[in-house]
Amino acid sequence: MKKIFSIEDLHVYYGPIHVIKGVSLEIKEEGELVSLIGANGAGKTTIMHCISGLLKARQGQIVYNGMDLLKMKAENIVTTGLVQVPEGRRIFTRLNVEDNLEMGAYTRTKKTEVKKDIKKILERFPRLAERRHQAAGTLSGGEQQMLAIARAMMSKPKLLLMDEPSMGLAPLLVQEVFDLIQEMRSEGITILLVEQNARMALSIADRAYVLETGKIVHEGVASEMLRDPRVSEAYLGA
């Protein structure tokens, strides 16, 4: 069976520092939710930046639907259906909520469909609907995260990269974000989830990889990794 996404022997350097050391991982089929977990500084966001074309690798391949993303420019990668919800939200703080949603659809050409999708998104996110004309920078942290996810959905992603979506959120909002991730997966969106909250990530993922100082040290079925004493001791606080 042809894999829809794979990273093969990825090596990344920051100057002389070797930060990603031969990482390989894969998403086997559409609709799969794969999680990459690890401590802060393990290299998770570096890998995400390589996937989306923001950072160049020295060696390796990142292949999505037969295309080597390392040979593509960042602005072309987003047109393939691969979209990232970046760490720290990175919304357009001076634009209002509705304008942020429109920015998520900038690669789409049928403006009438964009308007219809904005309406659907605002129905799905009632808190954003209440604030549609409010500057995005004035939203709470949880609302900004919802906006970042909603903006990504406006581009009709086929593969969604999510980088630390729970970072800085209160526990109730974390649960809300993870419920939303499961909802998107149920709609057929393939997801690569990068998370420090290992327990939550493993509880919803199909498969998972553990990254430690730039190397994959564990991989497997997520539900089994939740019960693995090595993973529990190192990453789940057990």
Q: What is the pLDDT of residue 237?
A: 58
Third-level CATH fold of 1-81+157-238? Rossmann fold (3.40.50)
pLDDT at 109: 78
CA distance 159 to 5: 9
In degrees and rounded to multiples of 5, residue 203 shows phi and psi of: -70, -20
Which pLDDT tens digits describe the chain residue by residue (238 residues)? 568 999 999 999 999 999 999 999 999 999 999 999 988 889 999 999 999 999 999 999 999 999 999 999 988 898 898 998 887 778 888 999 999 999 988 877 788 889 999 999 999 888 899 999 999 989 988 889 889 989 999 988 899 999 988 888 788 888 888 998 999 999 899 999 998 888 999 999 999 999 999 999 999 999 999 888 878 777 765 4
pTM over 0.85: yes
Give the domain ranges of the chain: 1-81+157-238, 92-156
